[in-house]
Chains A and B, each alone.
Chain A
Amino acid sequence: MTGPVPMVEAQQVCKNFGALSVLKGVTLSVQPGQVLVLVGPSGSGKSTFLRCINHLETVSAGRLYLDGVLVGYRESRGKIYEMPARQAARQRRDVGMVFQHFNLFPHRTALENLIEAPIHVKKVTKAAAVERARDLLHQVGLSDKADAYPAQLSGGQQQRVAIARALAMDPKLMLFDEPTSALDPELVGEVLAVMKKLAGGGMTMIVVTHEMGFAREVADELVFMDDGVIVESGPPREVLGNPAHERTRAFLSKVM
């Protein structure tokens, strides 16, 4: 093989829900350390594609590789078999995911949210997990909220805890599914700041968002999706500044 192995490589990925086809052949690749931003109208398949990457959704056709390994399936003699649940779970440890609605565990404090998976999934000792968790909470600026329950935090704070929770597993890839869409406008900035810092630190990230400013500033590549296909992609300045397709232009005129 030539060059480094891409962190994510999608080849003609398709996804059908019954008769409805949501992804109609998505091909893209993300290099280690790259930030890819996915934009597009709702229902265009961006979130579904993101969820395919950590096998929260199964792929109907095509292939998806994570760090050179097929996601959720194993290949033998040209045939593809679905992985046993346990193996798929092991694969997900390397992929952190941040959700639109945070999905923090409401019955656990911020610190307990962070140490839950490292202790029970990765079998890290409690002391080590707590130390790492405190460090991460410090990084997202929430050192003083370690003992607060999610209901006691603002939306922006909850999302920062959720990012720290994903990072606690030391993932090689971070997926963000509209991380700021459920936030009040004045809280969006604090979450984006954490994400920028993360990108600056060399984390490989795929971000579904409507924040064009963030895309312009942070993304290495911008992908515009509509109706289950990639319409166009390229450096954000080019795609945003000089869109080649009519559909991209129509979309951008609405969101910018």
Chain B
Amino acid sequence: MFCYGAATNEAYGWATYRKYLFDHRVSEAAWNTLQLTFWAMLLGLLLGVTLAVMRLSPNPILKTVSWAYLWIFRGTPVYVQLVFWGLFPTLYQKIQIGIPFGPSFFQLNLRDLSISFILAIVGLGLNEAAYMAEIIRAGISSVPEGQTEASTALGMSWWMTMRRTVLPQAMRVIIPPTGNELISMLKTTSLVTAVPYTLELYTRTRDISAVIFQPVPLLMVAATWYLAITSVLMVGQYYLEKRFSRGISRTLTTKQLDALAAARDGREGSR
């Protein structure tokens, strides 16, 4: 009944919905949203790994820095953080990297118009890092100590042990919540209007609807795009999880069963 009602109710404006679903402004905005998600997640992931390793390290200074970072970035709303990063250019005009009082190698003018995209990524990424750090820390802690010991005893370095033994096993624990975070990130990009960055999916469709006075169909357009992207991400997550769950179950894999069957056939054939 609800579906029928929705389909026939004029206020939903399905004609407008169809008209704007593949409008180039909308698809461009979807692309921008994807880019924001990707770069912010990448920043969150890299910084998250660093923070997790710092948190687990025996060094008390690194531990405290990591703890303080988490305290601040998990303790304040992401919207507030985004507004802060939006105001960042009023605090500092440009960022320079170089030798103090000497030559500068890199310069970023924070009064540029295109800076809002970068600030949006920074805002989302720094917030995400705090959550990713906890997920990665849980993953690393879930790998039994004996695994590190066995690797060390075989002459592996700390980094090789991390890369070849600990992280592949930690991935099984890390991936499902990271998939959550990625989907959540995709949707959180709709908040970057706070920076203000306005070329992502939600703000763009809202801007269009403000011009043509039809908010509902364009909301539906945005929802459709979010849903489509999320679906693709979920498929990716399924395959990743499959890849990293090797050796967990006692049941034989298809490949192993095939090999067994082939061996048996061979024996019977030779008889």
CB interface residues, B 139-177, toward A, < 8 Å: 144, 146-147, 149-150, 152-158, 160, 164-165, 168-169
Q: How large is the interface on A (under 10, 10 to 19, 20 to 34, 35 or more residues)?
A: 20 to 34
Asked whether, in the complex, the Cβ of B152 is within 8 Å of the Cβ of A107, the reply is no
Asked whether, in the complex, the Cβ of A89 is within 8 Å of the Cβ of B155, the reply is yes
Q: Whole-angstrom distance from the CB of A164 to the nearest CB of chain B?
A: 12
Q: Whole-angstrom distance from the CB of A3 to the nearest CB of chain B?
A: 29
Asked whether, in the complex, the Cβ of A85 is within 8 Å of the Cβ of B150, the reply is no
Does B256 make an interface contact (CB < 8 A)?
yes
Contact of B152 among A86, A89, A148, A151 (CB under 8 A): A89
Q: Whole-angstrom distance from the CB of A107 to the nearest CB of chain B?
A: 5
Asked whether, in the complex, the Cβ of B247 is within 8 Å of the Cβ of A151, the reply is yes
Tell me the complex Cα distance, A22–B246, Å: 40
Contact of A152 among B144, B150, B155, B252 (CB under 8 A): B252
Q: List, in ascending order, chain A residues with CB within 8 A of B250's CB.
A: 151-152
Q: List, in ascending order, chain B residues with CB within 8 A of A122's CB.
A: 155
Asked whether, in the complex, the Cβ of A151 is within 8 Å of the Cβ of B248, the reply is yes
Q: List, in ascending order, chain A residues with CB within 8 A of B234's CB.
A: none
Asked whether, in the complex, the Cβ of A105 is within 8 Å of the Cβ of B157, the reply is no
CB interface residues, B 238-268, toward A, < 8 Å: 244, 246-250, 252, 255-256, 259
Q: List, in ascending order, chain B residues with CB within 8 A of A99's CB.
A: 146, 149-150
Contact of A117 among B154, B169, B259 (CB under 8 A): B154
Tell me the complex Cα distance, A103–B149, Å: 8
Asked whether, in the complex, the Cβ of B152 is within 8 Å of the Cβ of A56, the reply is yes
Asked whether, in the complex, the Cβ of A116 is within 8 Å of the Cβ of B164, the reply is yes
Tell me the complex Cα distance, A102–B252, Å: 21
> A137-151 interface mask toward B, CB cutoff 8 Å, 1 = contact, 0 = none?
000000000011111
Q: Whole-angstrom distance from the CB of B243 to the nearest CB of chain A?
A: 10
Q: Whole-angstrom distance from the CB of B130 to the nearest CB of chain A?
A: 28
The chain B residue sitting closest to A153, CB to CB, is B250
Q: List, in ascending order, chain A residues with CB within 8 A of B157's CB.
A: 85-86, 89
Q: List, in ascending order, chain B residues with CB within 8 A of A157's CB.
A: none
Given contacts A85-B158, A92-B152, contact A105 B147 (CB under 8 A): yes
Tell me the complex Cα distance, A149–B144, Å: 17
Q: Whole-angstrom distance from the CB of A4 to the nearest CB of chain B?
A: 25
Does A63 make an interface contact (CB < 8 A)?
no
The chain A residue sitting closest to B169, CB to CB, is A107
Tell me the complex Cα distance, A75–B190, Å: 62
Q: List, in ascending order, chain B residues with CB within 8 A of A215's CB.
A: none
Asked whether, in the complex, the Cβ of B156 is within 8 Å of the Cβ of A117, the reply is yes
Tell me the complex Cα distance, A92–B154, Å: 7
Asked whether, in the complex, the Cβ of B155 is within 8 Å of the Cβ of A106, the reply is no
Does A95 make an interface contact (CB < 8 A)?
yes
Tell me the complex Cα distance, A108–B169, Å: 10
Tell me the complex Cα distance, A93–B151, Å: 11
Max chain A CB contacts within 10 Å: which of B155, B244, B250? Answer: B155
Does A159 make an interface contact (CB < 8 A)?
no
Q: List, in ascending order, chain A residues with CB within 8 A of B259's CB.
A: 147
Q: Whole-angstrom distance from the CB of B257 to the nearest CB of chain A?
A: 11
> A163-189 interface mask toward B, CB cutoff 8 Å, 1 = contact, 0 = none?
001100100000000000000000000
Asked whether, in the complex, the Cβ of B160 is within 8 Å of the Cβ of A121, the reply is yes
Does A97 make an interface contact (CB < 8 A)?
yes
Asked whether, in the complex, the Cβ of A103 is within 8 Å of the Cβ of B147, the reply is yes
Does A101 make an interface contact (CB < 8 A)?
yes
Given contacts A148-B256, A151-B250, contact A105 B156 (CB under 8 A): no
Contact of A107 among B154, B247, B255 (CB under 8 A): B247
Beyond A92-B152, A105-B147, A165-B154: 5 further Cβ-contacts under 8 Å? Answer: A99-B150, A105-B165, A105-B169, A120-B164, A152-B250
Closest 5 CB pairs of A and B: A149-B247, A103-B150, A93-B155, A117-B154, A103-B146
26 residue pairs from A and B, CB less than 8 Å apart: A56-B149, A85-B157, A86-B157, A89-B156, A90-B155, A92-B152, A92-B154, A96-B153, A99-B150, A101-B146, A105-B150, A106-B247, A107-B168, A107-B246, A107-B247, A109-B247, A116-B164, A120-B160, A120-B164, A121-B154, A147-B256, A147-B259, A149-B247, A151-B249, A166-B153, A169-B154
